[in-house]
Amino acid sequence: MKIVIAQMEHETNTFSPVETPWESFGPSGPYIGEEAYRAMKSTKTPIGAFIDVAESVNAEVITPVAGFAYPSGPVSGEAYDRFCNLIIGAIQEDCDLIMLDLHGAMVVKDRTLDGEGTLLGKIREAAPFTPIAVSLDLHANITAAMVNNANIIVGYKTYPHIDMYETGALAGDLLLQLHRGEINPKMSWSNIPLLAQTLKMNTSEGAMKEYAERAALSEQNPKVLVSSAFGGFPMADIPDAGMSAVVITNDDEQLARTECSEILEVAWKQKEEFIWEDTPLKEAISHAKSLAEGPILLLDHPDNCATGATQDTMTTLREALEQGLTDIAVGPIRDPEAVETLILAGLGAQVSLPVGGKTDMPAINKKGEPLQLTGIVKNITDGSYVITGPQFTGVEASMGRTVVFDTGDAEIVITEKLQEPWDRGVFTSVGIEPTQKKYLLLKSRMYFRPVFLPIAKHSVYCAGVGVGSSDWTMFNYEKIRRPIFPLDNIK
Ligand SMILES: [Zn+2]
């Protein structure tokens, strides 16, 4: 038996000015062929699970491509075409089953608003009878094209996502059961007009927890093979953005439909609970100032690069400095120009320069606003460090050339590349001990939790500027279906 296994993952923030070329999907683009197999085997990812499931039945594994890019603006048409051609090329050769590790919120420039649905449609055309299993992120925006062109769809059940491998293992296993004729999957899906905010999608809290639990409850029915409760990705101006559910039963279409609507009903009844309310920035910083004991996390979540943001807006730091906060570690700020200037100036040099604010954000009508600062070049590194935190443990991360710029009140980590602060290494690798600082200004939304929350005395959400904002009034939606809550006031 031959199984084609591939990965094409991108969460597209259609408001982001950050480009997404082919090169974004790996160290120097996606892994191809044998390289994809070697890179992804034994990883705790859906594609890693697919490989294990396939090998457990001694199938021949064909891995045409594996690529994962961090959230950013729409994917380039060229990159998308290459993914599609590689996957379809492999399927056309000889293939019994197809397992795909996709995200479910990919938008492609000049091609499609539904990257995954369009790919699946092309695959179905090329191989009309070959069963397909798909794993998706919890932030997928499900479309009819995805559901109509796949046999099995399984989404992550957790956010932060800690069940990537389990999701792939389940999807792969169900596909094998289908292949052996042991089950007859009936898949139903539906969505509700609710544009939930990702900050309200922590699956261990509040309404999101109840929604996820209702999906888990439905799986206790032996006829239900899997139920996926998707949060959706709201920074996507596409018709199908928002919350949806997919339920697969063994040969019971009616049950799949009713479970699907009952799961969604749990979310809809509490729709207000999925909308994030920002505290004004001034107020948040002044609250942070009133707290005695550090470290205090200042979470500049709108500029989080893992939501597609530019990671160079300076509004929150400006406010913190204006209100007189001191002993702040900031990081990282992406500003290759400043890195170049500071490295040329050399270690120990005193420099005045504009920091950050180099990128305009036309989709939210904001121009980049650098912050003029004077300070000393305290450290220069190549920006690489090994992750010791619980996520991506052991992986070597690279921030590009990196400088610590010390203004007296703030030690700012300035990098060449985007880097989510998901590990203390963003500070420790450049000589800053985060536990010793009063304030840690992090451009983080969710992934500070496993590593920075345990060392923090307090955390304060700071409504700075950025295309990862949870203030939906900042975005000009044109293509999304209407009415939808909270853009429209529906009951
Ligand atoms: Zn996600």
Determine the pLDDT at residue 389: 77
Q: Pairing relation of β-strands 132-136 and 31-32?
A: unpaired
**Residue pair 30/83 in contact by the 8 Å Cβ criterion:** yes
Determine the pLDDT at residue 411: 98
Q: Which two tokens stand for residue 475?
A: 């975005």
3-state secondary structure of 42: coil
**Cα-to-centroid distance, 42 and ligand 1 (Å):** 21
Q: Which two tokens stand for residue 458?
A: 């307090």
**Cα-to-centroid distance, 195 and ligand 1 (Å):** 15
Q: Which two tokens stand for residue 82?
A: 């290459």
**Cα-to-centroid distance, 230 and ligand 1 (Å):** 10
**Cα-to-centroid distance, 1 and ligand 1 (Å):** 32
**Cα-to-centroid distance, 486 and ligand 1 (Å):** 21
**Cα-to-centroid distance, 104 and ligand 1 (Å):** 9
**Cα-to-centroid distance, 354 and ligand 1 (Å):** 33
For the cut 80, the answer to whether the pLDDT of residue 33 exceeds it is: yes
**Predicted confidence (pLDDT) per residue in 401-456, tens digit:** 999 999 999 999 999 999 989 899 999 999 999 999 999 999 998 889 889 999 99
**Cα-to-centroid distance, 183 and ligand 1 (Å):** 29
Determine the pLDDT at residue 162: 86
3-state secondary structure labels for all residues of 65-86 = EEEECCCECCECHHHHHHHHHH
**Residue pair 245/215 in contact by the 8 Å Cβ criterion:** yes
User: What would the mean pLDDT of 377-391 be, rounded to a whole number?
Assistant: 90
Beta strands in 64-201, from DSSP E residues, in sequence order: 65-68, 97-102, 132-136, 152-155, 185-191
Cα separation, 147 vs 145, whole angstroms: 6
Determine the pLDDT at residue 352: 98
**Cα-to-centroid distance, 233 and ligand 1 (Å):** 8
**Cα-to-centroid distance, 125 and ligand 1 (Å):** 29
User: What would the mean pLDDT of 289-310 be, rounded to a whole number?
Assistant: 95
- What is the number of alpha carbons within 13 Å of residue 309 lying toward its C-beta? 32
**Cα-to-centroid distance, 355 and ligand 1 (Å):** 30
Determine the pLDDT at residue 243: 98
Instruction: Please determine, looking at this structure, whether the domain spanning 2-274 carries the CATH number 3.30.365.10.
Output: no
Q: Which distant-in-sequence residues (6+ apart) come within 8 Å of 52 by Cβ?
A: 169, 172
Determine the pLDDT at residue 294: 95
Determine the pLDDT at residue 472: 86
DSSP state of 40: H
**Cα-to-centroid distance, 139 and ligand 1 (Å):** 5
**Cα-to-centroid distance, 140 and ligand 1 (Å):** 7
Q: Kindly report the backbone phi and psi dihedral angles of residue 262, in degrees, each rounded to the nearest multiple of 5, phi listed first.
A: -70, -35
DSSP state of 475: S
17 vs 450, more confident: 17
For the cut 90, the answer to whether the pLDDT of residue 392 exceeds it is: no
**Cα-to-centroid distance, 102 and ligand 1 (Å):** 11
**Cα-to-centroid distance, 235 and ligand 1 (Å):** 12
Q: Pairing relation of β-strands 296-299 and 439-442?
A: parallel
| Confidence class for position 309, pLDDT limits 50, 70, 90 | very high
**Cα-to-centroid distance, 159 and ligand 1 (Å):** 7
**Cα-to-centroid distance, 175 and ligand 1 (Å):** 23
Cα separation, 104 vs 318, whole angstroms: 36
**Cα-to-centroid distance, 269 and ligand 1 (Å):** 23
**Cα-to-centroid distance, 71 and ligand 1 (Å):** 9
**Predicted confidence (pLDDT) per residue in 221-280, tens digit:** 999 999 999 999 999 999 999 999 999 999 999 999 999 999 999 999 999 999 999 999
User: What would the mean pLDDT of 292-318 be, rounded to a whole number?
Assistant: 96
**Cα-to-centroid distance, 156 and ligand 1 (Å):** 8
Residue 453 CB: number of other CB atoms within 10 A?
Answer: 10
Q: Which distant-in-sequence residues (6+ apart) come within 8 Å of 121 by Cβ?
A: 145, 148, 149
DSSP state of 299: E
**Cα-to-centroid distance, 160 and ligand 1 (Å):** 8
**Cα-to-centroid distance, 16 and ligand 1 (Å):** 16
**Cα-to-centroid distance, 394 and ligand 1 (Å):** 21
Cα separation, 221 vs 258, whole angstroms: 13
Rg (CA), the chain: 23
Residue 162 CB: number of other CB atoms within 10 A?
Answer: 15
**Cα-to-centroid distance, 109 and ligand 1 (Å):** 21
CATH 3.40.50.2300 residue ranges of the chain are 2-274
**Cα-to-centroid distance, 136 and ligand 1 (Å):** 9
**Cα-to-centroid distance, 161 and ligand 1 (Å):** 7
Cα separation, 393 vs 400, whole angstroms: 19
Q: Which distant-in-sequence residues (6+ apart) come within 8 Å of 110 by Cβ?
A: 77
The amino acid at 41: K
Q: Which distant-in-sequence residues (6+ apart) come within 8 Å of 444 by Cβ?
A: 299, 300, 301, 304, 306, 420, 421, 422, 452
Residue 199 CB: number of other CB atoms within 10 A?
Answer: 19
For the cut 90, the answer to whether the pLDDT of residue 169 exceeds it is: yes
Determine the pLDDT at residue 491: 81
Mean pLDDT score of the chain: 96
Q: Which distant-in-sequence residues (6+ apart) come within 8 Å of 222 by Cβ?
A: none
Nearest 5°: the CA angle 221, 225, 231 is: 95
**Cα-to-centroid distance, 232 and ligand 1 (Å):** 9
